[in-house]
């Protein structure tokens, strides 16, 4: 039992991020100074010594090229900049949601127009809209009412959205997905 706990709670053994200083495996590396000047191909120990003289770290920027490219800079600043760049990219991402609007084949005109206003708001915001027409009891025998309603929805929405998934039956309901233009 004690052996399990020791293994379970051990710290992560695989280091994260780029290799730096003594973790760099190649003996010959392309070195770039902290001001962006190319210092050329140097021996690993010489490059580490140059970085230590300036009080900085040697960080492997491009490990997959021959010889690997390393830069003399502060490791903390490098990680901070990488985190800032990742956060900025995440902020720019647009998450598209799927909003659902449920109808019945006997939905009245006022309710229909209200739900269409909401659908137009969702599409204007950049979200997809899933229209669901639910059939109960004998309404299933009149599936033409549902397909007529779907055609009307297509006509009303065609100016701001296009049909991604054509109307189809899924059990006792008919579904259609519309995406913004």
Per-residue model confidence as pLDDT tens digits over 129-172: 999 999 998 888 888 989 899 999 999 998 899 999 899 998 89
**Domain containing residue 135: CATH number:** 3.30.110.10
Identify the CATH number of the domain in which residue 28 sits.
3.10.20.80
CB atoms within 10 A of CB 167: 18
Same domain? For 52 and 106 the reply is no
State the Cα–Cα distance between residues 69 and 58, nearest whole angstrom: 10
Tell me the residue range of the domain where 52 lies.
Answer: 10-85
Domain count, the chain: 2
Buried b (16+ CB within 10 A) or exposed e, 57-66: bbbbeeeeee
101/88 Cα distance (integer angstroms): 33
2 domain residue, yes or no: no
First and final CA of the chain: distance in angstroms? 60
Over residues 39-58, the mean pLDDT reads 88
* Residue 99 tokens, joined: 């909003």
Within this chain, do residues 103 and 77 fall inside the same structural domain, yes or no? no
pLDDT band at 7 (very low <50, low <70, confident <90, very high): low
Pair (28, 68) in one structural domain: yes
pTM for this entry? 0.54
């Amino acid at each position: 039992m004690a052996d399990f706990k020791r293994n379970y709670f051990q710290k992560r053994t695989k280091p994260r991020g780029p290799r730096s200083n003594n973790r760099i495996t190649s003996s010959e590396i392309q070195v770039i100074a902290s001001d962006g000047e190319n210092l050329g191909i140097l021996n690993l120990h010489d490059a580490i010594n140059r970085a230590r003289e300036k009080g900085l770290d040697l960080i492997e920027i491009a490990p997959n090229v021959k010889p690997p490219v390393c830069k003399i800079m502060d490791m903390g600043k490098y990680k901070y900049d990488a985190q800032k760049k990742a956060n900025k990219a995440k902020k720019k991402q647009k998450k598209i949601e799927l909003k659902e609007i449920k109808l019945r084949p006997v939905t009245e005109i006022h309710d229909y127009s209200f739900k269409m206003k909401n659908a137009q708001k969702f599409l204007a915001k950049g979200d997809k809209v899933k229209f669901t027409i639910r059939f109960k009891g004998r309404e299933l025998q009149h599936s033409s009412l549902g397909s007529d309603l779907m055609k009307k929805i297509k006509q009303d929405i065609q100016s701001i959205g296009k049909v991604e998934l054509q109307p189809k039956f899924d059990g006792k309901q008919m579904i259609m997905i519309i995406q913004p233009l």
